[in-house]
Amino acid sequence: MRYWLFLLGFLLAINLKVFAEEGGTTAQFLWVPETTIETSFKAQMGVGLLDSPGLTGGRGTPITNYFGVNYAVTPDLGISIGLPLAGTLSNGNDDYGIGNIQMGTEYVIPLDRLSFGLGVNLSLPTAQTRATLGVSTRQFVQFVDDQFAVSPYVVLSYVRDRLVLSIDLGTDLELFTERTAGIDRFENILFYDGAAAMSIVQNIWGTIEFGGFSTLTYDQNMTQLFAGPGIRYQDHEISLGFHLLAPFRRPSRDIIDFITACEFRVLF
């Protein structure tokens, strides 16, 4: 009997591998940079659970949104623009507002199974204090008030048999338009991420992402870490993903327990 089970498992594994390789798409993530250049529209909606009523006066849910457009200038060069938003919904005092508008560019160098990317993002000082909850997420500089941020990064991806491994490293160079207590006019942050994705069956990907940032020059230096799994449907026209994001260190962990994010992309 066990031989028949072994044979059945072997045939099923072959079948899944064939289905996975017929998909023809590349892995996509919630926040980790990708080493593919595509023209697309992206929309994200995240809701979750606030850790304590201290932020709003009542327990409730954090809300995060992101709307962006990526444009492939060439197959190896892309530009992007995006608008993040964040807020809270509870039985207490709630706020919701826009973050810092982001503009970016990325150049990708494909190297057989490896892909190497160089990118930079620019955050403009458009954030409202009503979106302050966003600083408790992985996208820290998207919600810091009164700052320009230039964020260069490098990203490396490895693909083998529909398994994708990706890592990135970068820095946020913040220039503040106003000086406040505990913050100089110039601050520096180091950020880092890793991700893995597996094509389960045709057009279905399972993902896991982890990463964080460390404030290097702030008066009160800190390291924040985030992680979570996801599942995504992808074809050559649309992409729909569901992801779980949770902070693992204070103070973010004391504000947000978790966020469940839905992302929708239209590819052109």
Q: Where are the domains of the chain?
A: 2-267
**Cis peptide leading into residue 110 (ω within 30°):** no
The yes-or-no verdict on residue 49 having pLDDT over 90 is yes
From the CB of residue 113, how many other CB atoms can be counted at a distance below 10 Å?
A: 10
Higher per-residue confidence, 6 vs 166: 166
User: What confidence tier does 54 reach under pLDDT thresholds 50, 70, 90?
Assistant: confident
At residue 44, the pLDDT reads 97
Give the pLDDT mean for 17-34: 69
Give the pLDDT mean for 100-127: 95
Higher per-residue confidence, 26 vs 29: 29
At residue 24, the pLDDT reads 52
Give the pLDDT mean for 2-12: 40
Chain mean pLDDT for the chain = 89
DSSP character at residue 141: G
Task: Tell the CATH topology of 2-267.
Answer: Porin (2.40.160)
pLDDT in tens, 214-257: 999 988 889 999 999 999 999 999 999 999 999 999 999 999 99
The yes-or-no verdict on residue 141 having pLDDT over 90 is yes
DSSP character at residue 6: H
The yes-or-no verdict on residue 176 having pLDDT over 80 is yes
For residues 166 and 35, is the Cβ–Cβ distance under 8 A?
Answer: yes
Q: Is the dihedral of CA 139, 218, 53, 209 positive or negative?
A: positive
**What gap in Å lies between CA 267 and CA 148, rounded to an integer?**
30
Q: Which helix (H) or strand (E) holds 44?
A: strand 40-50
Give the pLDDT mean for 127-144: 94
At residue 20, the pLDDT reads 39
At residue 52, the pLDDT reads 79
For residues 96 and 63, is the Cβ–Cβ distance under 8 A?
Answer: yes
Which structure tokens are listed for 90?
């509870």
pLDDT in tens, 178-217: 877 678 899 999 999 999 999 988 899 999 999 999 999 9
